[in-house]
Structures are given as structure tokens and as C-alpha cells.
Chains A and B, each alone.
Chain A
Amino acid sequence: MKSLVIIVVSAGLAALIPFVGSEYALSFTVQLFVFVALAYSWNLIGGYAGYTHFGQVAFFGVGAYTGALLMNAGVHWLLAAAGAGVSGALLALPLGGAMLRVKGPFFAIGMFGMARVCESFALGFDGITQGGTGLYLTPVTDLKPLFFVLWAIAFGMVALTWKLDNSRLGIQLLAIREDETAADALGIRTTRLKIGTFVASAIAPAAVGSLYATYLSFIDPATAFAPMTELTTIAMVLLGGMGTTFGPLVGAVVMSVVNELLWSRFPEIYLALVGAVILAVVLFMPRGIVSFAMRRAWWWVPAARSSLRRLASRPTPSRSPKEAH
């Protein structure tokens, strides 16, 4: 219940920004939503299933190029984003089948390599992608529709993660994270689940990549496959709390705000300061802000995976209904 209230209130407040905020606030929030969608997608495979990796930007970049090419072919930007999402899933399916056979650092670095391969393709196939010159798109005049599409994707991912966190599917993913061999021996269909999760975690990044291209009205390999995008996303999830419903949201907001504040005030040393902030959080809250708060059990912090506990605390049917109340 608390979770639902938090989701609805934060989504409602965010939806007010185009009407009360400045052009700058709108632009800032658009970028924030991009990162929220990326962080939640990474949280699915990295946080829940435990397959952390450095290659999510591959889907973001491929989505950006798919979307940009579709838009240049005259497709509406919204349809292009949907097509980009499909392209992400189509890329993730064979990639997941091949890459998810390896675990830990091998998977993490292997995926990083995949992102670099995709970047090389974008550079190399200059007949289609214009190589390093990049693709130019018709600039959008009004940011509001783009804002609301990204708003829907970002909070859709929050709601989806909340549903997952309270479902057996989510618990089975955590079981894979905790001990895949044991999960497999106990009948959890690990291969199917992790490939499915990997594919699901590629859709939003690809769609958002296309929307980001729309927002910039330009895309080139360095922007589409920027390692900085990858690292920022992962830092947000780690900062907020991996494998939690609100970790990526908290991480994305905290990091974006801190980044923005420091960048405008201390332009020379802001990156060092961001590093110091991350270091402090990792030292004092190693499992992230949300996990830290959940451990403290403050009243306003929603418990993780509360639905099962609620079911377990239900009065047993043997008791009479009067006693139950």
C-alpha cells in the first residue's frame, strides 16, 4: 500500500513539472526519466536476477539508431520508439542465449564487449549510419509530448518492478541471484527466466534510446554507446539499492540532482565531488540508500516483498471470522 502511494504521488508530482516548471526543469526531467528507465531495466537483470553487466548501453544505442533511421524514413517518433523497443528485444534474445551461459565477471565484461561491437558497427556501416558524422533528425519544437511518453515509461517501469517485487516471479529471480545451481536443482526454470528477464530489460532502454535521439535531434556512435551512460546508470542503481522497488528511482533522482547542483556551482571539480558522494554512500550504506532505510524499518519506508508476509500473517481459515477482526 505504502509503495502504491509513493508511486502515485511521485508520478503525480512529476507530471506537474511541464505546467509549473521552467524550460530548464523540463529538460532536466526528460533526462532524468531517461536514466530512471535505464536504471530500472538494469535493475531487473542486474539487481533481481543477479546478472550485473556493463553492456546495457548496447540496447540504448541500437534503439537510438533504429529509431533515428525509422524517423528519417518518415515514421512518427512515437512509432519509431516502439520499433526501437522491438529491436532491443530482438537483439537481446540471441545475445542472451549466447551470453547468459557465463556468469559473474565474464558476463559483465562480455556484455561490455558487445556494446563496443555495436558501436563499431554504427561507425563502420557508414552507408546506413553516416558513421562518425551521425544522423540528424528534424528537431522537436514542443518537449511536452516527449516528456509525457518518457514519464509513462519511467513510472511504468517503477510500477512493473513493484509488481515483480511482490510476485513469485521476483522471488524466483532473486533465487537465481542467490544460488543458481540450487535454484535449478529445486525446479526453478533458470535458463528461461534469466533469458526472459534479459530480453525484458532490453526493451525500455532501446525505446528510450530512440526517444533520446528525438530529444537531441541528433545521434552519433559516441553519444549512442557512451560508456558514461552505462556507468551512470549502474551507479544510480548501486546508490539507490539493487534489487529493490525504489532503489533505482532514489538513486537516479539523488544522482541527477547532486550532479546538477555540483556541476553548476563547482564546474572544475564537480566530477571529483560526485565521486566523493558515491564513495561516502558506498562506505556507509553498502547496499544502497533504500536498503539502508528498509533495515532501519522507518514507518514510511515500504517493506520489500510485503505481499507474501501479508499472506502469511493472514488469519488462518480455521479461526472464526469474528476472531479474525
Chain B
Amino acid sequence: MHVQRIQTPPTAVPPPDFASMADTAERILVVEGVGKRFGGLIALSDVSLSVGRGSITGVIGPNGSGKSTLFNIIAGTLRPDRGRVFLNGHDTTRASPAQICRNGVGRTFQVSRLFGEMTVLENLVAVAHGASDAEAVERALGLLDFLEITALRDKWGTELSYGQRKLVEIARALMLRPTVMLLDEPFAGINPRLQNRIVDHLEALRQRGLTLFFIDHEMRIVLEICDTIHVLAQGRVIAEGDAAAIRSDPKVQDAYF
């Protein structure tokens, strides 16, 4: 990858502006001083970041940098040792995954977690909360159409290929009509054509006003589509900014390239 080396002094990451944390007009998701350790291992030491409403925000970082831990804390599957998470201005640090989900967060999983012995349609309809059966089916068919996977409707979860599962998981998360989508490595291990297709879909979703927050290793895509990128290394955010800023940040180059 071609990296421009611009000799600028490394800009320090500005401390999060805690005074405007309540300002949810712009920031849909705020992570404030989150730390988490597993026994002697410090997974996250002190992570603060925010996600702008309607943005595509990415988190990258080498293996073991704490990306998945951060993600699981936001989604409620892990409790942080310290720090807080705000979603739409509400403190969701201690909320259960189901509560967070019902507050407008849809998520996909790093390793496919489709319901295997259920059809694709059933996978989608199962999570449509509050809608009638007819509405749920209508919504599901609309999403399958949107993601161009209508042909998979009656296939069993176990029958799908790896890439198809990723698409169905996105569709399933969208069934919840989320305001934020958490995508855990949506591009890992799938072919470039499908990657581009997913990118197109994510762009289209953003056009609809959805906020997308994802972690991935796929540098090419992350730098291409993200408005803001946070780079994690050894449990802390070492850089944040747009693609150009990340490319030129020497700390990132040290940690990653």
C-alpha cells in the first residue's frame, strides 16, 4: 500500500470533550474512559471515542489490540471495569445486550451466528420486535431485496456459504430498524467482489441515515469508506481522524504498517 510520508509533528489525540457528552445531536455513541482487564491482561486501558450520527466510523488495530473487547462492551456482552458508554445520550454501560439492541443497536458477529436450523426468512422474522407477523415478513422481504439475496429466502442457515451468511447477518441486524449498526469484521474472509457489494450496501444504508460503526482488518476498505477512523493498539486509541490523517500518522505506521 502506498503511504504518503508527510513529516508533520505527531498531533496528540485531543481529549474527549466531556462537557458536550450530552449533546446527542451529533454524537450517537460515546465511549468514555473505558478500561477492561482479563486477569493480568489489560485488554483496554483507557479508551475514549465518539461516533458521529450518520457517519461511517471504523476501528482498526492489530490482533490483540482490544477491538473485539471494545465492541463487546458497546454491545453489552461485556461489562467494562471502568468508564462509561452512552448511546443516544443514555448511559448503557450496565444495560443487557437485549436492552441495548432494543435501544437501536443492530449487530453482526465476527464468527457467523445465524440460527442454523431455521430458514433465512425465519432468521430475520425472529428478531422483528413489536411488529405483526405480516409486517415482519414484509420488512424481511424488503431487506432481502435490498441486499439482493431474495433467492436465499427459504434456504437453511446451515446451507449458506460464508459470504452469504455475512449478508444475511446484516439483513437480520437491519430487521431491528437500528439507528446504529455494529459490524464485527464484515469484510474478513470474503472475496473482493462481495466486499465491494457490501461496501455499496453500507453506503446506501448511510444514505438512509444509518450510523455504521465497524471493526475490520481490511485496510483498503476502511480507509476508503470511513469518515473517521480510530486506531487501537495495546488497549488504547493511538490515532483518530480521517483516512489521510491516519495514513500519515507515524504512530499508526509504527503500530500497523
Contact = CB atoms under 8 A, between A and B. Distances in A.
Q: Which of B106, B115, B123, B126 has the most CB of A within 10 A?
A: B126
Nearest to B132: A168
B133 interface: yes
Contact of A186 (B134, B153, B173): B173
Nearest to B97: A185
A177 B127 CA distance: 14
Contacts, number: 91
Contact of B133 (A182, A183, A243, A311): A311
A202 B173 CA distance: 34
B75 A185 contact: yes
B117 A188 contact: no
B118 A185 contact: no
B121 A184 contact: no
A190 B129 CA distance: 13
Interface string B109-142: 1000111111101110111110001101100110
Q: Which of B107, B118, B140 has the most CB of A within 10 A?
A: B118
A311 B107 contact: no
| Main secondary structure on A side of the interface with B | helix
Contacts of B77: 181, 185
Contacts of B133: 167-168, 307-308, 311
B143 to A, nearest CB: 12
Contacts of B76: 185
Contacts of B202: none
B126 A190 contact: no
Q: Which of A175, A186, A309 has the most CB of B within 10 A?
A: A186
B117 A174 contact: yes
A175 B121 CA distance: 12
A76 interface: no
A190 B77 CA distance: 14
Nearest to B109: A182
Contacts of A142: none
B2 to A, nearest CB: 39
A172 B127 CA distance: 8
A174 B122 contact: yes
B116 A178 contact: yes
Nearest to B182: A185
A120 B108 CA distance: 48
A238 to B, nearest CB: 15
A184 B96 contact: yes
Interface string A62-92: 0000000000000000000000000000000
A312 B101 CA distance: 25
Nearest to A312: B137
A309 to B, nearest CB: 7
A189 B116 CA distance: 19
Given A174-B118, A182-B113, A182-B115, 7 more contacts: A168-B125, A183-B115, A185-B75, A185-B98, A186-B101, A187-B176, A312-B137
Q: What 3 pairs across the A-B complex have the smallest Cβ distances?
A: A187-B101, A178-B115, A182-B113
